[in-house]
């Protein structure tokens, strides 16, 4: 907890300028600068927004840059704003002792992104969970089935248009 806690960088240009030595920023810029759509550094957390079609390649890029551990992946439903869904990938580097969030924005109409299970096999259950509870498809996933809800369940419970209580 030092002075670095106070720094907030909003927007791609600010992050690229403010954190030029960050290994993830460096790796993504060296690989494909146009894939980095947006970025922010807020509350000591770096978020890189990646173009949806590039997420698998971006994951492989930051993995090679030292972010070796896939920790968590989930979605956020931003209904009624567009694009509707946000996917947040939380990655950890054992070497840098640092975290990174990759963020992808997906449209609400038949949402789908590429699976990252061949980069990190541990994403398997997490992608199934998001598929089950949000209805986002992951292309190339080896076993895209519901994981929490029964197989014949209708609807995706964590979507914002799915009621919390009462009759549907």
Partner 1 sequence: MTETIGTPILQAPAAEGARDQHMVINLGPQHPSMHGVLRLVAEIDGEIIVRLYPEIGYLHTGIEKTCEAKFYQQVVPLTDRLDYLGPLSNNLCYCLAVERLLGLEIPEKAEWIRVLLAELTRLNSHLIWLGTHAMDIGALTVFLYCFREREEILRIFEGLSGQRMMTSYFRIGGLAMDPPLDFFDRVQGFIKGFPEKIDQYSNLLTGNPIFRSRLKGVGYLSAADAIALGVTGPPMRASGVDFDQRRDRPYSGYEKFQFKVPISTDGDCWARYEVRLIEMRESVKIIQQALDGMPEGPIKADAPKIVLPEREKMKTQMESLIHHFKIVSEGFAVPAGEVYQGIESPRGQMGYYVVSDGTAKPWRVHFRNPSFATLQALEAMCKGRMLADLVAVVGSIDIVLGEIDR
Residues lying near partner 1 in the complex (CB under 8 A) are found at 42-43, 45, 47, 68-72, 74, 76-77, 88, 90, 92, 94, 97, 99, 101, 120-122, 124-126, 133, 135, 143-152, 154, 157-158, 162, 164-165
Least distance to partner 1 from the beta carbon of 5, Å?
Answer: 9
Nearer to partner 1, 21 or 152 (CB): 152
How many of the other CB atoms lie within 10 Å of CB of 149? Answer: 13
To partner 1, the closest distance from the beta carbon of 2 in angstroms equals 12
Closer of 61 and 124 to partner 1 (Cβ): 124
Closest approach of Cβ 56 to partner 1, in Å? 16
* DSSP conformational letter for 153: -
Token couple for 99: 């975290």
Residue 32: exposure state from Cβ atoms within 10 A (0-12, 13-18, ≥19): middle
Q: Closer to partner 1 at the Cβ: 36 or 40?
A: 40
d(CA 104, CA 56): 11
User: d(Cα 30, Cα 12) in Å, to the nearest integer?
Assistant: 15
Tokens of 110: 């038949």
**Residue 123 C-beta: closest distance to partner 1, Å:** 8
Neighbours of 109 (CB within 10 A): 8
Question: Least distance in Å: CB of 15 to partner 1?
Answer: 16
Identify the H or E element spanning 55: helix 55-64
Residue number with CB closer to partner 1 (33 or 44): 44
In the complex with partner 1, the residue whose CB is nearer, 20 or 121, is 121
């Amino acid at each position: 907890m030092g002075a670095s806690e106070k720094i907030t960088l909003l927007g791609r240009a600010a992050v690229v300028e403010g954190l030029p030595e960050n290994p993830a920023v460096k790796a993504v810029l060296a690989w494909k600068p146009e894939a980095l759509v947006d970025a922010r550094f807020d509350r000591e957390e770096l978020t890189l927004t990646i173009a949806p079609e590039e997420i698998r390649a971006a994951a492989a890029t930051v993995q090679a840059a030292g972010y070796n551990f896939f920790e968590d992946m989930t979605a956020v439903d931003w209904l009624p704003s567009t694009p509707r869904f946000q996917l947040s990938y939380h990655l950890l580097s054992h070497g840098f002792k640092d975290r990174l969030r990759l963020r992808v924005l997906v449209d609400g109409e038949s949402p789908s992104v590429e699976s990252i299970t061949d980069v990190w096999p541990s994403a398997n259950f997490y992608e199934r969970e998001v598929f089950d509870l949000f209805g986002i498809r992951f292309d190339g996933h080896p076993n895209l089935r519901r994981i929490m809800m029964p197989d014949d369940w209708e609807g995706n419970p964590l979507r914002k248009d799915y009621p919390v209580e009462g009759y549907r």
